[in-house]
């Protein structure tokens, strides 16, 4: 469903992705972990061409959206993006629209869905993420966890075939992380194809079909979570997991 083939990306002189190959099969969840600055966000953003890789190719479904630095025509790219939901660390909800309007906006703008139909869809999706009672308030009145669930509903409104999550819980207070992960687990259980950058190892163990470990623009190791977490082959994976555990132990308030 998502194929990344030999992808390289540089910012100025700095090569951030140094040749990435991976494949997310339909209905599978891939979790990407790795130290900060290793290129996880950039990789995810290459998967919907928010960043255009100079080398290699990215295929979503049966459309090759970028190959050797050349993207598909704008209209086709927009169509693929519409079916590739993205959830950001900082939510990026539209502050001038109510929660329901946030969800309705893309179907109405991109697909010309009639307003009543879009509203019905929005209410259905908001109910699904547990925000039925927040449809007509502005995002500023929502908690972080509610914002992120609204953002997920907004992405789902385009009936995506693929969902990309970039550290969806990293900006949340610890007690709000669970409610967002719950929604993501439900999505995975429904058979959504997902690529998730996260430091939530519990989620990775439970939901991931494949865990990819990145460091310094490369894939260090990938495999099923059971193997990556219990029997990592690479020293860099071990070092990263150790640092993560230490980090958690160093935060006594985290639950």
Partner 1 sequence: MTIDFGPVLEGFPRLLSGALVTVEVTVAAMLVSAVLGLAVGIVRLDPRRRVLYGAASSYVAFIRGTPLLVQLFILFFGLPQFGILLPATACGILGLGIYSGSYVSEVVRGAIQSIDPGQTEAARSLGMSRAQAMRKVVLPQAFRRMLPPLGNEAIALIKNSALVSLLTIDDVMREGQRIISTSFRALETYLAVALIYFVLTNLANQFLRFLERRMQVEGRR
Ligand X SMILES: Nc1ncnc2c1ncn2[C@@H]1O[C@H](COP(=O)(O)OP(=O)(O)O)[C@@H](O)[C@H]1O
CA-angle at 122, arms to 82 and 103, nearest 5°: 50
Does residue 115 sit in helix, strand or coil?
A: helix
243 to 93, 166, 215: CA distances (angstroms): 32, 20, 13
Q: Cβ–Cβ contacts within 10 Å for residue 242, how many? A: 11
Q: Applying CB under 8 A, does 155 fall inside the site for partner 1?
A: yes
Q: Which does 79 bind (CB under 5 to 8 A by kind): ligand X, partner 1, Mg ion, none?
A: partner 1
Q: Which of 7, 31, 38, 179 binds ligand X (CB under 6 A)?
A: 38
C-alpha closest to that of 67 among 54, 80, 51, 83: 54
CB of residue 214 vs Mg ion: minimum separation in angstroms?
Answer: 10
Give the footprint of partner 1 on residues 122-141 (CB under 8 A): 138, 140-141
CA distance 168 to 223: 22
76 is a contact residue toward partner 1 (CB under 8 A): no
Q: How far is the CB of 65 from partner 1 (least distance, A)?
A: 12
Q: How far is the CB of 39 from Mg ion (least distance, A)?
A: 8
In the block, tokens 């980090």 appear at 247
CA-wise closest residue to 169 among 215, 138, 204: 204
- Quick one: what does residue 37 bind among ligand X, Mg ion, partner 1, none, with the CB cut-off 5 to 8 Å set by partner type? ligand X
Stretch that binds ligand X, among 39-47, 122-130, 143-151, 219-227 (CB under 6 A): 39-47
Residue 85 in contact with partner 1, rule: CB under 8 A = yes
For the chain, the first-to-last Cα distance in angstroms comes to 35
Q: Which of 29, 38, 41, 48 binds Mg ion (CB under 5 A)?
A: 41
Of 7, 24, 42, 150, the one binding ligand X (CB under 6 A) is: 42
Contacts of 158 (CB under 8 A, 6+ apart): 82, 83, 85, 106, 107, 110, 111
Nearest to 225 by CA among 191, 248, 196: 196
Task: Please give the residue ranges that form the binding site for ligand X (CB under 6 A).
Answer: 11, 16, 34, 36-42
Task: Please give the residue ranges that form the binding site for partner 1 (CB under 8 A).
Answer: 48, 50, 74, 78-79, 81-86, 88, 90, 92-96, 105-106, 109-110, 138, 140-141, 151, 154-155, 158
């Amino acid at each position: 469903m998502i194929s990344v083939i030999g992808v390289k990306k540089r910012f100025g002189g700095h090569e951030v992705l140094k040749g990435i190959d991976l494949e997310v099969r339909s209905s599978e969840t891939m979790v990407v972990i790795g130290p900060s600055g290793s290129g996880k966000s950039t990789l995810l953003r290459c998967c919907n061409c928010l960043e255009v890789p100079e080398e290699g190719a990215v295929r979503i479904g049966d459309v090759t959206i970028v190959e050797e630095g050349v993207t598909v025509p704008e209209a086709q790219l927009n169509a693929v993006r519409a079916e590739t939901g993205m959830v950001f660390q900082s939510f990026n909800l539209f502050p001038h629209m109510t929660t329901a309007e946030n969800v309705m906006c893309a179907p109405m703008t991109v697909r010309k869905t009639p307003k009543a139909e879009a509203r019905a869809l929005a209410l259905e999706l908001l109910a699904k993420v547990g925000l039925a009672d927040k449809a007509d308030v502005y995002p500023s009145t929502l908690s972080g966890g509610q914002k992120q669930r609204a953002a997920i509903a907004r992405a789902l409104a385009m009936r995506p075939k693929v969902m990309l999550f970039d550290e969806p819980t990293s900006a949340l207070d610890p007690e709000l992380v669970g409610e967002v992960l719950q929604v993501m687990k439900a999505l995975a259980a429904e058979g959504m194809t997902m690529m998730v950058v996260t430091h939530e190892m519990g989620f990775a163990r439970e939901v991931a079909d494949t865990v990819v470990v990145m460091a310094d623009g490369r894939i260090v190791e990938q495999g099923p979570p059971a193997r990556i977490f219990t029997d990592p082959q690479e020293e860099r994976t071990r070092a990263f997991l150790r640092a993560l555990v230490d980090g958690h132990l160093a935060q006594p308030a985290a639950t």
